[in-house]
Amino acid sequence: MVVVAILAAGRGTRMKSSLPKVLHCLGGRSLVERVIKSVEPLVPSRQLVIVGYQSQEVKAAMQSIPSLEFVEQAVQLGTGHAIQQLLPHLQGYTGDLLILNGDLPLIRTQTLQQLLQTHQENQNAVTILTAHLDDPKGYGRVFCSGDNLVQQIVEDKDCTAAQRQNCRINAGVYCFRWPSLAEVLPNLQANNAQKEYYLTDAVTQVGKVMAVDVDDYQEIVGINDRLQLATATAILQTRIKEKWMMAGVTLIDPGSITIDDTVEIQPDVVIEPQTHLRGHTVIETGCRLGPGSLIENSQLGENVTVHYSVVTDSIVQAETRIGPYAHLRGHVQVGNGCRIGNFVELKNTQLGDRSNVAHLSYLGDTTAGSQVNIGAGTITANYDGVKKHQTKIGDRTKTGSNSVLVAPLTLGDDVYVAAGSTVTEDVPDDSLVIARSRQVVKQGWRRKETGG
Ligand code: UD1
Ligand code: CA
């Protein structure tokens, strides 16, 4: 049994941001959300998140994750001070406490399991995760005796020039026997370069301290500034793309593609260069996406193609072709075997099976049936300057080029709209509507000559 505590109260000054550091996003999830995900499979008996800087925002961002307990650290006086706030919440607890920095988004569950195992097998008072880095700048340095027993942790800012040469660093993950930690927490002193209460000072006061090296040093990148955020993004992207390629997805020019790890992709999907898949997106088998496309929070059925287009918050059924240069947004639903073509925008619109909107159109707040053909340049005028209005288009209805459908409007089944019409009144089934001025031809007319 283990209780988990996540440190998420700091401001993250080095990010130079109005957003608290732990809410910065990496691959579709916030940093702290990633840490929480990494501990989930350990089935902790409690998960305590220490919040402070903009705590309302941080809590709101994690609202959807059940079973988190928030502990306030009203002023942020350091990582040791943060853990001191747990004392009233863990009274009488005699088990282990796994502590993780909230800015450690790439840590793997497996690594945490190894840490816990070493901790328990060796009956340590505390076991900490360490790594050997070529460039240890910014991290606390860990000094051990030969057998991985930790003697001292010195923060980068407190290091002497000689200490700074030590490349073994503290990753910011600790498994403490809680009663031992609880005993020393009240004694922490802030006599260091940052005038903070360091959790790392508690480490060497509790008894037997063991260090465990992480296998893959990329897991322990701590995010303190935008450079480290970019480094972590690159590491995560490599992980995600390797996973999908091994699962049968073709990526053409993987370096130019980004995929959030909230995305699901079936085998035999081809993703072309400069294509980005974000949020809760599901791509079914046989799809061909890109080049140059963005798909966010959307579901694409089998064999859908998307070229140079943007699809957000939408559902597209099988065999539909999208693009080039289409934009689907605001809860669009497109049926089977449709064609959404060049320079077409669909917003909050439903389209039945085998319907086409192939050229230069805008459909907003529209429900159209199956086998509908929206002619080139058809526009729904859905906004009267105050409110949005609905347009309904029946099955097999066809609009001529350059027609304007002024909402609210209903066109029945099998309606034909003559090219260039501005339709303002409902049209019943099986009708032709012509709503334009009649052509006038003045034969023999010539422009009168003026002047000499
Ligand atoms: C910390 C460690 C350092 C380690 C590094 C790993 C200490 C003293 N130092 O340094 O040894 O190498 O992490 O990345 O612990 N936080 C609070 N309350 C506070 C201060 C911080 O909750 O009062 C939280 C932050 O939100 C953050 C985490 O603690 O998630 C770590 O704080 P940060 O300031 O980033 O510590 P580092 O200087 O990186
Ligand atoms: Ca940090």
Q: What angle do CA 220, 190, 162 make, to 5 degrees?
A: 60
Dump pLDDT digits (tens) for 352-388: 999 999 999 999 999 999 999 999 999 999 999 999 9
Checking if the pLDDT of 390 tops 70, the result is yes
Mean pLDDT on 435-452: 85
Checking if the pLDDT of 446 tops 90, the result is no
Distance 291 CA to ligand 2 centre (A): 37
* For ligand 1, atom 36: residue with the closest CA: 79
pTM for this predicted structure: 0.91
Domains and CATH numbers, the chain: 2-226 (3.90.550.10), 240-433 (2.160.10.10)
Q: What is the atom index within ligand 1 of the atom nearest the CA of 139?
A: 12
Query: Dihedral through CA 328, CA 292, CA 25, CA 331, nearest 10?
Result: 10
- Asked if residue 86 lies in contact with residue 72, where contact means CB atoms within 8 angstroms, the answer is no
Checking if the pLDDT of 449 tops 80, the result is no
What pLDDT shows up at residue 452?
Answer: 54
What pLDDT shows up at residue 448?
Answer: 76
Distance 140 CA to ligand 1 centre (A): 10
- Asked if residue 327 lies in contact with residue 346, where contact means CB atoms within 8 angstroms, the answer is yes
Q: Which ligand is nearest to the CA of 10?
A: 1
How far is 259 from 144, CA to CA, in rounded Å?
40
What single-letter amino acid sits at 307? Answer: H
Helix H or strand E encompassing 149: strand 149-154
Checking if the pLDDT of 176 tops 90, the result is yes
- Asked if residue 338 lies in contact with residue 356, where contact means CB atoms within 8 angstroms, the answer is yes
Q: What is the mean pLDDT of the chain?
A: 97
Distance 2 CA to ligand 2 centre (A): 23
Contacts of 339 (CB under 8 A, 6+ apart): 320, 321, 356, 357, 358
DSSP category for residue 110: H
What pLDDT shows up at residue 147?
Answer: 84
Distance 157 CA to ligand 1 centre (A): 13
Point out the least confidently predicted range of 121-125, 234-238, 432-436, 446-450.
Answer: 446-450
| Catalytic annotation, pick one of 81, 89, 327, 359 | 359
Q: Which ligand is nearest to the CA of 139?
A: 1
Q: What is the atom index within ligand 1 of the atom nearest the CA of 8?
A: 26
Q: Which ligand is nearest to the CA of 158?
A: 1
Q: In what order do the strands lie in the sheet with 409-411?
A: 264-265, 282-283, 299-300, 315-316, 333-334, 350-351, 366-368, 391-393, 409-411
Closest CA to 208 of 142, 151, 169: 151
* For ligand 1, atom 28: residue with the closest CA: 101
Checking if the pLDDT of 267 tops 80, the result is yes
What single-letter amino acid sits at 41? Answer: P
Q: How confident is the model at residue 146 (pLDDT cuts 50, 70, 90)?
A: confident
Dump pLDDT digits (tens) for 46-81: 999 999 999 999 999 999 998 999 999 999 999 999
Distance 375 CA to ligand 2 centre (A): 57
Checking if the pLDDT of 91 tops 90, the result is yes
Say whether 81 is catalytic: no
* For ligand 1, atom 31: residue with the closest CA: 101
Half-sphere exposure of 235 (CA within 13 A, CB side): 20
What pLDDT shows up at residue 66?
Answer: 87
* For ligand 1, atom 3: residue with the closest CA: 140
Distance 390 CA to ligand 2 centre (A): 51
Task: Tell which one of 6, 55, 101 to mutate to probe ligand 1, the residue whose CB is within 8 A of the most ligand atoms.
Answer: 101
Pocket of ligand 1 (CB under 6 A): 7-10, 22, 50, 52, 73, 76-79, 81-82, 101-103, 139-140, 153, 155, 169-172, 198-200, 222, 224
Q: What is the atom index within ligand 1 of the atom nearest the CA of 10?
A: 26
Q: Which ligand is nearest to the CA of 24?
A: 1
Q: How confident is the model at residue 451 (pLDDT cuts 50, 70, 90)?
A: low
Contacts of 297 (CB under 8 A, 6+ apart): 278, 279, 280, 281, 312, 313
